[in-house]
Amino acid sequence: MDSTPNNGKLLFDVGGTFLKAVIADGNGRFVPDTEYSVPMPSDGPREEIEQALIAAVERGMRSAADRGLRIGCTGIAFPGPFDFGLGIPLMTHKFRNIYGISLLDLLRTRTDVGPTMPVLFMHDVNAAMLGEMRCGNARGFANAALIALGTGLGFACCLDGEVQYAPTGSPRITVYKKPFRDGILEDYVAKRGFLRLYGEITGQDTGPSLTVADLGRMAGEGNPAARETFATIGRMLGEALRELIRKERIECLLLGGQISRSYAYLEPGLRKGLYGTACLRSIAPAAHIGHAAFYGLLARLDGLRPET
């Protein structure tokens, strides 16, 4: 790491509704009191999404300057499909209004990133996997995988100590479209699956206001239907991924994403679903659920050089 004052790093992690940000110094440490978020709805119009990114960069640059730190590079964790080399979103299920738009050009022409600052775009789940390898619960394992549970279902893995990338920069192995029952796996184990199953168990209309975080709180309070929901989905997830875990000889399986904050209620069912995977030595939540992607970006940013 370059510890000079001009090598601060501006880091972004883009989700479905917010962009999270933090500043790291030249030693790769998060600068105190520099973490912030900016609303960035994935279903918003192009202008709103672009302006959110511009505002986030401007805020970060000001925050760094106030601390006598100059930003030397920028890293952005973004969901896919995405052309990570060119900085172009290719999603149709979300962020569809910026499909094909070069966010790299946007940063270079409309923010202080300018024409030469190194800018790294990285798939958010790959970034989290790398972060957990470097300083999280995957550290020390040659073969590890991370499942990201939230609005959608993400999956990334490292084999022989290397994160597995597709040519586009996305994870080489994906599981969200894996056929499962009368749909795909994501239909059953991500947010909509949780809410649907809870409604089936209780016989109630869950309504638009209920969240998986609510179910996690209810499970913590002992609500039997909420606990059954987590245990059932944990088991389904384990059963669906069992053969993949065996095939890739995964030794460490981590749960990331917002839903994994309720890992304690997922774990019993997940372990049942993964029964017989002798290669697995560790099943655990990610050590840095909210920051793993930042650590992964830091690992990749180290060594980047200015463009000419």
Q: What is the CATH number of the domain that holds 185?
A: 3.30.420.40
Q: What predicted TM-score, i.e. pTM, was given to this entire model?
A: 0.92
279 and 154 share one domain: yes
144 and 201 share one domain: yes
Whether 19 maps to a domain, the answer reads yes
Whether 255 maps to a domain, the answer reads yes
Whether 308 maps to a domain, the answer reads no
152 and 95 share one domain: no
Q: What is the pLDDT of residues 219-268, one digit of tens each?
A: 999 999 999 999 999 999 999 999 999 999 999 999 998 888 899 999 99
What is the pLDDT averaged over residues 135-160? Answer: 95
3-state secondary structure 192-243: HHHHHHHHHHHCCCCCCCCCHHHHHHHHHCCCHHHHHHHHHHHHHHHHHHHH
Whether 250 maps to a domain, the answer reads yes
29 and 90 share one domain: yes
Q: What is the pLDDT of residues 26-63, one digit of tens each?
A: 888 999 999 999 999 899 999 999 999 999 999 999 99
**Domain total of the chain:** 2
Residue 308 binned pLDDT confidence (cut-offs 50, 70, 90):
very low
259 and 180 share one domain: yes
Buried b (16+ CB within 10 A) or exposed e, 197-208: bbbeeeeeebee
Q: What is the pLDDT of residues 189-199, one digit of tens each?
A: 999 999 999 99
Q: Is the pLDDT of residue 6 over 80?
A: no
87 and 106 share one domain: yes
Structure token digits, residue 166: 């597709």
Whether 2 maps to a domain, the answer reads no
Whether 259 maps to a domain, the answer reads yes
Whether 144 maps to a domain, the answer reads yes
Whether 93 maps to a domain, the answer reads yes
Range of the domain at 194: 137-286
